[in-house]
Amino acid sequence: MIVALGGDGFMLETLHRVLHRGIPVYGMNRGSVGFLMNAWSENGLPARLAEAQAATLHPLRMMALDVHGKRHEAVAINEVSLLRETRQVAKIRITVDGRERLAELSCDGVLVSTPAGSTAYNLSAHGPIVPLSANLLPLTPISAFRPRRWRGALLPSEAQVVFEVLEPEKRPVAAVADFTEVREVVRVEVREDRTVSLTLLFDPGHGLSERVIAEQFTV
The tens digit of pLDDT for each residue in 195-205 reads 999 999 999 98
| Count of positions (residues) in the chain | 219
Choose, from 8, 66, 178, 193, the residue flagged as catalytic.
8
Q: What is the pTM of this model?
A: 0.91
Instruction: Tell me, yes or no, whether 51 and 157 share the same domain.
Output: no
> What distance in Å separates the CA atoms of residue 3 and residue 162, rounded to the nearest whole number?
37
**Strand, helix or coil at 134?**
helix
Instruction: Tell me, yes or no, whether 108 and 154 share the same domain.
Output: yes
Catalytic residue status for 193: no
What are the respective helix, strand and coil percentages of the chain, to the nearest 5?
15, 45, 40
> What distance in Å separates the CA atoms of residue 187 and residue 173, rounded to the nearest whole number?
10
Closest CA to 81 of 59, 110, 106: 110
| Mean pLDDT over each residue of the chain, to the nearest integer | 94
Instruction: Tell me, yes or no, whether 71 and 134 share the same domain.
Output: yes
Instruction: Tell me, yes or no, whether 88 and 131 share the same domain.
Output: yes
147-169 pLDDT per residue, tens: 988 999 999 999 999 999 999 99
Question: What is residue 87's predicted lDDT score, i.e. its pLDDT?
Answer: 95
Question: What is residue 20's predicted lDDT score, i.e. its pLDDT?
Answer: 87
| Domain range enclosing 97 | 60-192
Instruction: Tell me, yes or no, whether 182 and 80 share the same domain.
Output: yes
Instruction: Tell me, yes or no, whether 50 and 111 share the same domain.
Output: no
Per the structure, how many domains does the chain have? 2
Higher pLDDT, 164 or 215: 164
Question: What is residue 155's predicted lDDT score, i.e. its pLDDT?
Answer: 97
